Structure 1
Amino acid sequence: MRNCARRGRGARLGDTAIAAVTVLALGCAVWLLGSGAVTHAPPQPAAAEGRPDPAGERLTAHALAPSVPTRIRIPAIRVNAPLMGLALTPSGSLDVPPARIKNLAGWYESGTMPGETGTAIVAGHVDNAEGPAVFYDLGALKREARIEVDRMDGSVAVFSVDTVKVYAANNFPDEKVYGAAHRPELRVITCGGGYSKASGYLGNVVVFAHLTASR
């Protein structure tokens, strides 16, 4: 399968350095290109969703104690998926969930846990050879949409979407996406930005969110 990867200068998540080739092998448009489904490509973020709304960012909940995340729910796009831990590959890239399992996402387990102060990373496939996967509709999210992350301690971290953006693989803003944060933040990443027969998806859809509640 073709990779949806981006190349950059490298970035840091927590105390772990990420090599220049980091993400993502998160879908390759094999289904789209091979099945004649190109007219049903995954939605891409509207320009308006990429402009931050300062009023929507004023409410920030207190950071939670560390706890391993177990499930992510995004009601607006009908996502309800278990989370697995993701490590780095020998080349320094972020590993990805098995493509054969459509409804599965992963979190970077050497970085920030969702709900802690800092930038937590969740990634998942947009499709596989059989059809749409867990984050196929991620680009359709709107600002202020709710993202819920279940945690092993029984708590739920509730995030509010600040912006939804698409970045070309050759212009991926490492520091903006992966950089440290002074409050609990979340990034949800999948492939997007159009695709080609030669290389698959050309970039990544990135959702920026911050913690607004817990229960």
Structure 2
Amino acid sequence: MDTFKDRGSWFTVASVLLLGVFLLRNGSTEPVGGPPQPGSAVPARHSEAAPLPAVPHALPHSPPRRIVIPSVRLHAPVTAVGLDEDGGIDAPPLEKSNLAGWYNGAAGPGERGTSVIVGHVDNKAGPAVFYALGALERGSRVEILREDGRTAVFTVYGIEIFAKKKFPAARVYQDTPAPELRLITCGGGYTKKTGYDGNVVAFARLVEVR
């Protein structure tokens, strides 16, 4: 049975809760200047992206243990997260600012399908693990160290910001025939009452295995 396909169909529905609940919790302090926001000219469409290397064969399932994004000097451990009591994806503990969360109901990074890693943009202490996510550009490399010792290397082909109320869950979380990755945090406008009103999403695909 294709477990990711089964999980993915259900995950698309659950994602509406993720982006309406989990990312609201991040705006615990009013940011000074705010996190970087993605440029409007970086749509996540393969047809508009510069050519990328051939996609390697998909890897067997293995959980991620660390994420590295050299261009924004991000080095962080990754923990597995499931669903919260409201049915949305849980987030890493807010107080652990340098910790990302991999949704363990979807594909592992490098496995066939769409893997999803989420992270807070800030907390009461200041910037958190995905604060600089909006500064990524097409061609940025994302390295995921897996539990099996292999490193799945992805290249960003698009980064966009979506209003939470109009989040295109089917497009972001769709099952893919090749290994892909989504990195998600919050962004856009901010108020103390409601937090951030949007979500930054980086779209990437597997280009190398080490």
Q: Normalising by structure 2, report the TM-score.
A: 0.89
The 1:48–1:57 alpha-carbon spacing in structure 2 relative to 1, beyond 3 Å, is: same
Shift of 1:104: 0.2
The 1:51–1:174 alpha-carbon spacing in structure 2 relative to 1, beyond 3 Å, is: closer
Secondary structure in structure 2 of the residue aligned to 1:49: coil
Q: Identify the match of residue 119 of structure 2 among 124, 127, 131.
A: 124
Q: Which has the higher helix share?
A: 2
* 5+ residue gaps, structure 1: 1-11
Instruction: Describe how 1:12-51 pairs up with structure 2 within 5 A.
Output: 13-14=7-8, 16-17=10-11, 18-19=13-14, 20-23=16-19, 24-26=21-23, 27-32=25-30, 37=32, 40-50=33-43
Shift of 1:13: 4.6
Cα distance in 1 for residues equivalent to 2:94 and 2:135: 22
% identical equivalent positions:
45
Cα distance in 2 for residues equivalent to 1:44 and 1:54: 19
Tell me the residue number matched to 1:136.
131
Cα distance in 2 for residues equivalent to 1:147 and 1:90: 31
Deviations 1:49-94 (A, max 9, x none): 2264443345212111111110101111111100100101122100
Cα distance in 2 for residues equivalent to 1:61 and 1:193: 34
Cα distance in 2 for residues equivalent to 1:211 and 1:92: 29
Secondary structure in structure 2 of the residue aligned to 1:60: coil
Cα distance in 1 for residues equivalent to 2:124 and 2:106: 30
Residues 74 and 80 in structure 1, CA contact (< 8 A), matched pair in contact too: yes
The 1:13–1:171 alpha-carbon spacing in structure 2 relative to 1, beyond 3 Å, is: farther
**1:86 to 2:81 alignment:** yes
Instruction: Describe how 1:46-195 pairs up with structure 2 within 5 A.
Output: 46-50=39-43, 52=45, 53-57=48-52, 59-195=54-190
Deviations 1:114-137 (A, max 9, x none): 000100000000000110000001
Residues 15 and 111 in structure 1, CA contact (< 8 A), matched pair in contact too: no
Tell me the residue number matched to 2:207.
212
Secondary structure in structure 2 of the residue aligned to 1:175: helix
Cα distance in 1 for residues equivalent to 2:140 and 2:51: 11
Secondary structure in structure 1 of the residue aligned to 2:55: coil
Secondary structure in structure 2 of the residue aligned to 1:180: coil
Cα distance in 2 for residues equivalent to 1:15 and 1:153: 27
Residues 13 and 119 in structure 1, CA contact (< 8 A), matched pair in contact too: no
Compute the RMSD of aligned alpha carbons: 1.7
Q: Normalising by structure 1, report the TM-score.
A: 0.87
Cα distance in 1 for residues equivalent to 2:44 and 2:80: 31
Shift of 1:15: 5.8
Cα distance in 2 for residues equivalent to 1:56 and 1:194: 33
